[in-house]
Chain A
Amino acid sequence: MLELKDLYFTVTDHESVKQRNIIDGVNFTFKKGLFYAITGPNGSGKTTLAKLIMGINEVSQGQIIFEGNDISKLTITERAKRGIAYSFQQPARFKGITFRDLLTIATGEEDEKKLLNIVSRVGICPLSFLDKEVDAKLSGGEIKKIELATTIAANPRLAIYDEPDTGIDLWTINPMVKLLKKELIEHLTTTIVVSHNRAFLEAADVIIIIDKGRFVYEGDLPKALHLLTDLSACTYRRPPEGEENAQCFR
C-alpha cells in the first residue's frame, strides 16, 4: 500500500558545504493491514523517514507511492486527505487550542456525544482531557497520549506513530499496543511505529532496523535479535532529550 522507491533525503551542511544523505536510498513496500516497527539508533533517520511520508520533509530523490499513486509532490494536507496520519515525536503545543478542537479538526465532528465516543474508543485519555488546552502546561506523557488519540481519530489508512511511548508510564504501554492492534484489525489500518520498546517490537509483524539512513534489516523479531543486541546497531551513547524511556532491546 506504501512503496518507497529509491528514496533520498539530502541536506547540505552549512559549514563544510558537504551533502549528507539522511535517508540514503531506501527501497521498501509496506503491505496493507500489517504492523511495522521501525527501530534503530538515535539520529539514524527514523523521524526523517516518517516526515518524508507525511510530506513534512520534501523528497530529495526517489518516489513515494501510496495506494498506487505517486504522492511525492503532494502537500501535507493532500496526503492527510488521502488517509495518511502522523503522530509527532515532539508534538506541537498551542495556545488556546484544546484536545476537543484537535479532535474536531481531525474528524470534522463537533457533536459532544460523538467526540466522547472517540475519546472512549481511544481509551488511553480520560474523558476529562477533552477540554484540556494542548499547551506548554501538559506533561510529556499527556501530550503524547493526545497526539496518539488525534491520529486514531482521523481514521487513517496509514498511521505512523513516532516513539509513542516517550514519557508514557509503564502501565499504559501495553494498553497502547493493544489499542493500535485493535485499530489495525477493525479498520485494516496499516500501522508503522517508530520505537525501541520491546512491547511494540513484539507486537509487530515486521521489524525494520534503520542505521545511517538505510534499512539494514527487514524481517521478524527473532532474527532481528542478534542485530538489536549488537552494539553497532543499537548504541545509546547519551540518552537524547525527552527519550528517558528509550531502552535498548538487549
Chain B
Amino acid sequence: MLNASDKTLLKTVADLEGLPKGAYNIRKNGKLLSRQVTANINIESNADGSGIVVTIKPGTKNESVHIPVILSEAGLFDVVYNSFIIGEDADVTIIAGCGIHCGSKEQEGHAGIHEFRVGKKAKVTYVEKHYATGRGTGRRILNPTTKVFLEQGAKAEMELTQISGVDEANRLNEAELGPESLLLITERVLTDGEQKAVSTNNIVLQGEDCRANMISRSVMKGNSRQIFYATLTARNKCFGHIECDAIIMDNGSNETMPSLKAEHPDAELTHEASIGKIANDQLMKLMSLGLTYDQSVNRIIQGFLK
C-alpha cells in the first residue's frame, strides 16, 4: 500500500516509519489511502468530500493525530479543506505534512486549508512540514493555509516548516484569539535556487488578556526570494509580539513587513526584525572550535531553523 517513495516522504514530513500510532488519515494523490480513528478522536470525510473533519472529544489527553498528504501523480493539484474541532480541556498533537514527489515535467501542487476550533482551556500542538523531491522538472507548488480560533483559555502552538524543494509557496496563517488564550506560531522557511515563498500572517487579538507570539525564521539560498507579512491587530488588553529573522546566503532576497495595529489603549504590541548574512562572530567561534567554514555555515543555519 505504501511504496518506497511514499515511505521516504512520510519519514520526512511526519517522522513516521510506517503507519503511525493513534488516529491518522493518509491522503495520496487526492484520495484517501488509509484512516484510523480512536475512542476519543473521530475522523470523517466532510460533506462535499473535499477534506476531513477531525473531532476531538473534550478532555482527551496525550493523543495524537497524523494527517500526512503524499503527491506523486504528475499534473495533479490537490486542494483539501480540513477542520479540527478540539473539545474543551483536551490536549492533543496534530502532525500534518505534505510531501511531493515530482517525477515529470508537469507541475504538482497542494493547497491544504486547515481550520482549527480550539475549545475552552484546550491545548493543541500543530506540526506541519512541507517537503518536495524528485527528479522531474515540474514546478512544485504548496499553498498551505491555517485558520485558528481560540476560545477562552485555549492554547495553540503551531510549528510550520517548509524544508526544501518547494518552488512556489503562498502561505497564509490567520488567527483569532479569545480571552486569556495563547497562540505561539513558529514558522521556518528555507528556499534555494529560483524558489519563492510568501508568508502572510494575520493575527487578531480579540479577547481580554490574550497573548500571541509569532516567530519567523527564513533562510534564502541561491537566488531565492521570500516575503513575510505579519499583522497583529489588538482589540483588547492583550500582548503580542512578532520576531522575524532572515539570513541571506548567496544572492537571496527578503522583504519583511511586520505591522502592529492597536485598537485598544491597553494593548501591548512589539516586534523585532532583522535581515542579514550569517554573523561573522558566529562563524569565527565555530571555526575556532574546529569546524570548517562550510560546516560552520551549516551548523548555524541548522540551529537557526531548529
Residues of A within 8 A of B289 (CB): 80, 85, 102, 105-106, 150, 154
**B279 close to A (CB within 8 Å):** yes
A96/B288 in contact, CB under 8 A: no
Residues of A within 8 A of B287 (CB): 75-77, 80
Query: How far, in angstroms, from A86 to B287 measured CA to CA in the complex?
Result: 11
Number of B residues with CB within 8 Å of any CB on chain A: 22
Residues of A within 8 A of B281 (CB): 88, 90-92
Of the residues A92, A101, A150, A154, contact of B279 by C-beta under 8 Å = A92
Query: How far, in angstroms, from A6 to B287 measured CA to CA in the complex?
Result: 26
Closest to A82 in B: B290
Of the residues A54, A95, A150, contact of B304 by C-beta under 8 Å = A95
Query: How far, in angstroms, from A101 to B293 measured CA to CA in the complex?
Result: 17
Task: Given A105-B289, A105-B291, A106-B290, check contact A97 B284 (CB 8 Å).
Answer: no
A94/B300 in contact, CB under 8 A: yes
Q: In the complex, what's the smallest C-beta–C-beta distance from A136 to chain B, in angstroms?
A: 10
**A198 close to B (CB within 8 Å):** no
Of the residues B217, B285, B292, contact of A92 by C-beta under 8 Å = B285
The contact size tier of chain A is: 20 to 34
B contact patch SS = helix
Closest to A79 in B: B288
Query: How far, in angstroms, from A91 to B279 measured CA to CA in the complex?
Result: 12
Of the residues B290, B292, B293, B303, contact of A97 by C-beta under 8 Å = B303
Q: Which of B189-248 touch A at CB < 8 Å?
A: 217, 245
Task: Given A56-B284, A90-B281, check contact A96 B290 (CB 8 Å).
Answer: no
B288/A76 in contact, CB under 8 A: yes
Q: In the complex, what's the smallest C-beta–C-beta distance from B88 to chain A, in angstroms?
A: 33
Q: Which of B260-306 touch A at CB < 8 Å?
A: 279, 281-282, 284-293, 299-300, 302-306
Residues of B within 8 A of A76 (CB): 284, 287-288
Closest to B287 in A: A76
Query: How far, in angstroms, from A122 to B227 measured CA to CA in the complex?
Result: 45
Query: How far, in angstroms, from A181 to B20 measured CA to CA in the complex?
Result: 55
Query: How far, in angstroms, from A101 to B282 measured CA to CA in the complex?
Result: 13
Seen from chain B, the residues whose Cβ lies within 8 Å of a Cβ on chain A are 217, 245, 279, 281-282, 284-293, 299-300, 302-306
**The 7 A-B residue pairs with the shortest CB-CB distance in the complex, in nearest-first order:** A96-B303, A92-B281, A96-B306, A97-B303, A76-B287, A92-B285, A80-B290
Other than A90-B281, A95-B303, give 20 A-B pairs with Cβ distance below 8 A: A54-B288, A56-B288, A75-B292, A76-B284, A77-B287, A77-B290, A77-B293, A81-B290, A85-B288, A88-B281, A88-B284, A88-B285, A92-B285, A94-B300, A101-B303, A105-B286, A105-B291, A106-B289, A106-B290, A150-B289
